[in-house]
Structure 1
């Protein structure tokens, strides 16, 4: 039996078939390679991230959100004291002012008028070398007075700071975190470090005090409660004004009655 005669293909058609097979195998290998590596690489990147990364990277709220060091309508202040004189009384050793964003606008070590007998380093953080080239007290006082004039002054136990600076400030413009009613406890005032922990979630004053950190903490406490705080200040002002008017009316009424009695008695 004769074998069937094989049909010969056109050489061009054979070449085309071989080329198609070659390209097809390359494409399939590329797709397979892509399928094998793409999900692995994506999942690999995700696995590299720690699950608790977001919890570890907590932002410190005391760090300013910008670098604007301009003078604002509210200024935060904190002072550190040293001991002077025979009675080891408190005197200004460092004064810091920050604006409403917490950026430093003034921060200077200050040389007290009297001789320092105790640097109180464990709390103040002030050392003898810090006061060798420190600002003269009167120069620092003048600068602080210029900065806070006509502005809301924010701080903690500001009466002590102003006393050390030998300065006064209008009561209506003082925002003291040690006296703000919502911050008070049944047993009285609360330390700034406790307020920072409770209301801001940060720890301060764990060692030597940093006046920049303390001023920022007081300012942030004020800013977060500013609307309610300012409303309470206005309410107190109105209440005092009403009381003042009542006293004036009562005084005038008593004077009118006294004058009427004098006329009736023929005085």
Structure 2
């Protein structure tokens, strides 16, 4: 894995801080257990339900994902700026004779540029994930029901609920997160296809087993413009004995984050996929260049 030392030290400090908080919390519990407290019926009535706790856990996971996206984006920008500076130094030697002064000037201008703060723009990279419901006898066949796309910074670019052409026989809510009321504002598959194609056009698509999503959308995308975390050789070798790893497993192993606890969220999965790509971005691009000769 090619993670910068700054990002790793940041994660380490966050982990140690979390450990200290847990120690304090345990100390507080020991003090309280020495006193007998009466719990009234009113107190037990406001006890959070399992559903509330699940929502809170999902919100916390989403927040952690966004924090990690932001931190890793800054670290990757630093690495790429350093590489650009090194490239500028080597070209400066060639440019001494004056034949490449224009190139040298442009390179210096690029180095001087600061990373863009307009994180809500679509940008060059997008990550996509889809959710499906069951149709046909016993709901065994799958039909597209939601498409979510986020940008390089994890911000939502597109999030559409899609109305299946066949009657839904299994909403698969426990895993898809899709419920009947979501279809109230759902778009047709044709409209969804049109909007997704517009977003993907000319951009690098990051996904996990993304060919399944493209097939469901009846869309194609140039292979040289795809970065698939399920096919990334270092991930396969390190975490799955050469086989295809699940997104849940990779997110746990690489990012130390739990996702897909109960109902899935295509937004959360798309963010996790983008974060996985960014965690090893340099190696992704190195292998990609070896295979296709450039983006």
TM range (shorter): 0.5 to 0.7
Give the helix-richer structure, 1 or 2.
2
Residue 126 of structure 1: aligned partner: 178
Deviations 1:210-231 (A, max 9, x none): 1111000100111121111111
Give, in angstroms, the shift of residue 129 of structure 1. 0.8
Residue 180 of structure 1: aligned partner: 232
Q: Does 1:200 align with 2:200?
A: no
Give me the whole-angstrom Cα distance separating, in 2, the residues matched to 1:50 and 1:192.
25
Residue 68 of structure 1: aligned partner: 119
Give, in angstroms, the shift of residue 187 of structure 1. 5.2
Give me the whole-angstrom Cα distance separating, in 1, the residues matched to 2:287 and 2:18.
46
Residue 244 of structure 2: aligned partner: 189
TM-score, length-normalised on structure 2? 0.60
| Matched pairs, number | 191
Q: Does 1:145 align with 2:202?
A: no
TM-score, length-normalised on structure 1? 0.66
The answer as to whether partners of 2:204 and 2:227 remain within 8 angstroms in 1 is yes
The answer as to whether partners of 1:62 and 1:220 remain within 8 angstroms in 2 is no
Give, in angstroms, the shift of residue 80 of structure 1. 0.2
SS in 2 for 1:111: coil
SS in 2 for 1:96: strand
CA RMSD of the aligned region, Å? 2.8
Deviations 1:55-114 (A, max 9, x none): 999972444538832111010000000112347311110000000000001111110122
Give, in angstroms, the shift of residue 115 of structure 1. 1.8
Give, in angstroms, the shift of residue 149 of structure 1. 0.9
* Greater relative CO (CA pairs within 8 A, separation 6+): 2
Give me the whole-angstrom Cα distance separating, in 1, the residues matched to 2:286 and 2:160.
34
Q: Bigger radius of gyration, 1 or 2? A: 1
Runs of 5+ consecutive residues of structure 1 not aligned to the other structure = 1-48, 240-267
Runs of 5+ consecutive residues of structure 2 not aligned to the other structure = 1-16, 26-59, 71-116
